Structures are given as structure tokens and as C-alpha cells.
Amino acid sequence: MLVLLKKRRFFLLAVFLLVLSLALLSWDVTSPRSASFIEGAVLTVLSVPLKALSFISRETSSVVDKYILLVNLKDENRSLREEIQGLRNDNRLLQIEAKENERLRDVLLLKDRVPAKTVVAEILGEDPSGWYKTLVIDRGGRWGIRAGNGVISPQGAVGRILDVGENIAKILLIVDKNSSIDAMIERTHSRGILEGGGHRLCELKYVEIEEDVKPGDRVVCSGLGRVFPEGCPIGTVTRVIKRGGALFQSIEVSPCVNFSRIEEVLVTIN
């Protein structure tokens, strides 16, 4: 116990002096008088630690206030970032909806222009078998769709219905080698048969060698057979080859429909 008191004698002395000074200061608070020598000495001695404690208290309070402010700013910044990200997501959704509405509007406008009965269908995806260049739609026999019906989009001819189920159907694209469409050059009305090239191109065959065909000419449906509307765009001539002694020209056609991005189509019901 004595060892502990020796170790803390300075601290106990300071506490004793503090208590003594407070007692002296409060001895007679009712009657004003001048401070004694001892009281003045005590006040002088105590002024240094009191000022230090006051400074530490102010600085501590300032640090705490700044810390709280930083925490609040951090929370506010996180909340603002989350709000901005939410607004960006909403903006993307609105852009997607706007594009979908624009596509549907174009399809409905095309539906009004086509004299034949039509069914609006959505593309579900490609045929996974890979035997043909085909797309699958979400409409089938329940909607009156039959094999051989023409399929068009606002951009142009897409293909013909190949297989039909109750609720789905398969489109044989015009670029498939098994596809053939009666077509003509829009500028000269030179007729031929458009066959698929197996990739992204088609070939307009059986156009006589003397017919005037140039790269850049538009190829459209002739309307024969009433499978496709007359004048429905098919593509653009990209190359013309005339071989000596041949009866017909070799005409390469680039389709106007991007089959990898098409999402809605019209099926013409004969």
C-alpha cells in the first residue's frame, strides 16, 4: 500500500491542491473581497492546467465534429452514388422500351400497308439444329399460319414458313440455299429468281444477259403467287457478272434485313 502511495504521490498532491483551492475559493462567496496571497497563488498555478484542459476539450470537440461530418458526407456520397446508378438503370430501361415501342410501331405501320391478312410474331431464336438458315417465331397453326406463308419485316423480305407447330413456327430465311423467291430489279422490272447463297448473300438468277442491271439497283418482290407483297424490298445488287456466251447474268444481292438483329416479323396469310 505504501509503495502504491509513493508511486502516485504527485497525482494525489495535485488532487489535494485542487480540492484545497476550490475550498478556499468557495469559503466566502457572499461577501466580495480581494483574493489572498494563497488564493492568488493557487489560481495562478491552476490556470495552466485549466487552460490546457480547455484547449484539449475544444480540440477534441472539433475533431469529433469533423469526424461526424466526414461520416455523414461519406454516407451521403454513398447514397448519391446509389441514386445515380438507379437513375442510370432506369434510363437504360427507358431506352430499351423506347426502341421496342419504335420497332412495334414500325411493324404495325407495315401491317396497315400490307393488303393481305397478317399475323405479328416475335422471334424466339435460331433453329439449334443448324441444318437450315432458320428462325423460330412464337406463332403457329392456332393463328392460321401455314407452311409456305411469306414472312416480312419493316426492312424487307425475311423468308417463308418452313415448319408449323400449334404455337410456334420456323422461318426459312432468304439466304438459305433452299430458298427461292420470284423477284425483280425495281428500276427496270427485270425479273428473276432470288436464291440463297448460304451465308449473308443471295443470288438473283435467270436474268437475261442483255438486261440492264447495275450494282446499287434495288431488288424487290414481284408479287407473283401472292406470297410476298409486290414491291417488298429484298436487297441491293452488289456485283454483276456477264460471261461471254452465257444466257443469264450472275447477280449478287445483299439482303436489306439484318437477320441477327430482327425481333418482330409479319407473317402473311394467303
114 within 8 A of 268, measured Cβ to Cβ: yes
DSSP annotation string for 70-86 = HHHHHHHHHHHHHHHHH
Between 116 and 229, the higher pLDDT residue: 229
**How would residue 121 be classed by pLDDT, with cut points 50, 70 and 90?**
very high
The answer on pLDDT for 34 being more than 60 is no
What distance in Å separates the CA atoms of residue 120 and residue 140, rounded to the nearest whole number? 11
**What's the average model confidence in pLDDT over 192-210?**
91
172 within 8 A of 259, measured Cβ to Cβ: no
**245's torsion region: left (phi>0), alpha (psi -120 to 50) or beta?**
left
So what's the pLDDT on residue 226? 82
Which of 43-57, 140-154, 228-242 is least confident? 43-57
**What's the average model confidence in pLDDT over 237-252?**
91
152 within 8 A of 159, measured Cβ to Cβ: no
| Average pLDDT, rounded, for the chain | 79
So what's the pLDDT on residue 195? 95
So what's the pLDDT on residue 30? 47
Strand runs labelled E in the chain? 117-126, 134-137, 150-153, 156-164, 169-173, 180-185, 191-196, 202-205, 218-221, 233-241, 250-255, 264-269
**Domain 117-269 sits in which CATH superfamily?**
Rod shape-determining protein MreC, domain 1 (2.40.10.340)
DSSP annotation string for 149-201 = -EEEETTEEEEEEEEE-SS-EEEEETTSTT-EEEEEETTT--EEEEEE-SSS-
So what's the pLDDT on residue 1? 53
42 within 8 A of 20, measured Cβ to Cβ: yes
The answer on pLDDT for 265 being more than 50 is yes
What distance in Å separates the CA atoms of residue 253 and residue 180, rounded to the nearest whole number? 13
> What percent of the chain is predicted at pLDDT more than 70?
70
The answer on pLDDT for 68 being more than 90 is no
What distance in Å separates the CA atoms of residue 203 and residue 251, rounded to the nearest whole number? 6
User: Which backbone phi and psi does 44 adopt, to 5 degrees?
Assistant: -65, -45
Domain ranges of the chain: 39-113, 117-269
The answer on pLDDT for 26 being more than 60 is no
So what's the pLDDT on residue 54? 59
**What's the average model confidence in pLDDT over 25-51?**
53
**What's the average model confidence in pLDDT over 1-7?**
49
